[in-house]
Amino acid sequence: MRNVKASPTTTSHWQKLTELHTQYQSKSIEQLNDLTAKHGQCVDAAGLSVDLSRNFVNQEILDELVALAKTQGMAEKIQQLIAGEEVNNTEARAAHHTALRLPDSAQTRADVSETQQKIKALAENLRNKSWRGSNDTEITDVVNIGIGGSDLGPRMVCNALSSMATQGPRVHFVANIDPRDLETVLQGLTPASTLILISSKSFNTTETLENALSARSWLLEAIPQNDLSKHVIAVSSNVEKAVAFGVDADNILPMWDWVGGRYSLWSAIGLPIAIAIGYKGFRELLDGAHAMDEHFATAPIESNLPCLLALLEVWYVNFCNAHSSAVLPYSHELGLFPDYLQQLTMESNGKQVHKDGSPVSSRTCPTIWGSAGTIGQHSFHQLLHQGTELIPVDFILPLHSHSDEQNKQAHLVANCLAQSKALTEGKSEAAATQELADSGLSDAAIAELAAHKASPGNRPNTIIAMDKLTPSNLGALVALYEHKVYAASVVWDINAFDQWGVELGKQLSTPIFAALTGADSAEDDSASTDKTTAFWIKRFTQ
């Protein structure tokens, strides 16, 4: 039976928000948005400044969204998350990633403290060259083999903080089972100076294990078997299988059921980060996230940044008919951030049932996409400005760069601010007509071109700024979006911490793989013998 009480669509606030959208939909953002009167230009927390002034919302709408959140038990459910209570009901687990970010002085979990000390020791030994490979060779390269949460988070952070990776081994990432991924990374490396880091909770993930086996074979072509333990370490809960693979038991770091994969970069999965930028930088990343945790846990909903961003998402998806959202970091170093957010957001909230299993009666997670500015301006920004879809935009803006080329940074900031302004204000057909007339075109040419040059504007966008991209600010940014995802799931009453949809494809791939490799007959397995699949199996095996 449907849990009517948990469904947001049955609340009076949902009905009121529907009425408010009808009432205000003809207004422009400039006419409607009055948030700066109460909140100022920005809402600040944990080193981030968030400018909400170009969103299609006013205080009346925001108050109703906040009331909806309160009806859905937002404050209580935030505390349940922070306290490590069971919030993942389908797997009977906590989602206690915030515990990994507590300051050392406040850490109550001995297993976390012990693991963090192990991360520190391993990272420092590799960075100070005391970890030696076969024939006492210096380790110059570390290859992280993982997929999903064991890859996207640390890969994104290492890329974002690459300006700090000036000492220690180079860190590489391999995720795809496509053989060219691993082969391309290993081409320029030497086995004796390479360390393989295998990140897999079960030590049984197909992509990771296949790549790890190939990497081990590559190592053993050049080093003796008894030196293998000098070149392989692991992050896994399956110690027995990792040891059988050739990893020394002392070089296996744990994973815990209470930390989900897409929330795991703060755990031992973040070891590549500590290796790349040093443990001090890794600790600063945790501290920045903890500062956002404190804000999320203590700020009232109406000034709580993750809650505000979540409520705006609910407003745009459920009342303004937005189907996707773009995240545009105006920082080359944050180029992988949209990829990371795709997993964080869509694997968490891409759900069709409430927590009790009853069908949702509204749309949930939007599609998340984007790329680094200004690159996107020369590819898909046309759609944002003149397309027929409403696509809310988050601009991520480090105001200052680690580069000495401040003129280029000024260009970058100028482009970000210009895009935000253009999306909001647009250009009327009358303004386009005047602009064309001023350029000396004929009346006929003006009549032909004016409509093409006009932009409707009224495209909502948020600027999330920081002074500079540092480990602390990046930690706060990631935690901001983690908590935004959870807050949205609370409003929709869905489980943000499972991913059962991912499992079906995994299950179906096993018999298909057997048919492709001749290990089983396709005719004997109905899972792989539908007409379309059978056609492609035959095509592959011919």
Instruction: Name the token pair of 250.
Output: 């002392």
Phi then psi dihedrals of residue 338, to 5 deg: -60, -40
Residue 376 in contact with residue 334, Cβ under 8 Å? no
Of the listed 207, 313, 333, 347, which one is catalytic?
A: 347
> 212: buried, middle or exposed (CB in 10 Å: 19+, 13-18, 0-12)?
buried
Strands ordered across the beta sheet of 461-468: 43-45, 48-51, 461-468, 393-400, 324-329, 367-369
Residue 247 in contact with residue 239, Cβ under 8 Å? no
Is 378 a known active-site residue? yes
CA atoms of 217 and 191, how far apart (whole Å): 10
Residue 94 is given by DSSP the state E
Of the listed 5, 408, 468, 506, which one is catalytic?
A: 506
Ramachandran category for residue 370: left, alpha or beta (phi over 0 → left; psi -120 to 50 → alpha): left
End-to-end CA distance of the chain: 51
Residue 402 is given by DSSP the state S
Of the listed 378, 405, 452, 531, which one is catalytic?
A: 378
Phi then psi dihedrals of residue 192, to 5 deg: -65, -20
Distances (CA, A) of 353 to 18, 223, 358: 22, 52, 5
Q: Cβ neighbours of residue 438 under 8 Å, at least 6 residues apart?
A: none
Is 313 a known active-site residue? no
Catalytic residue set:
347, 378, 506
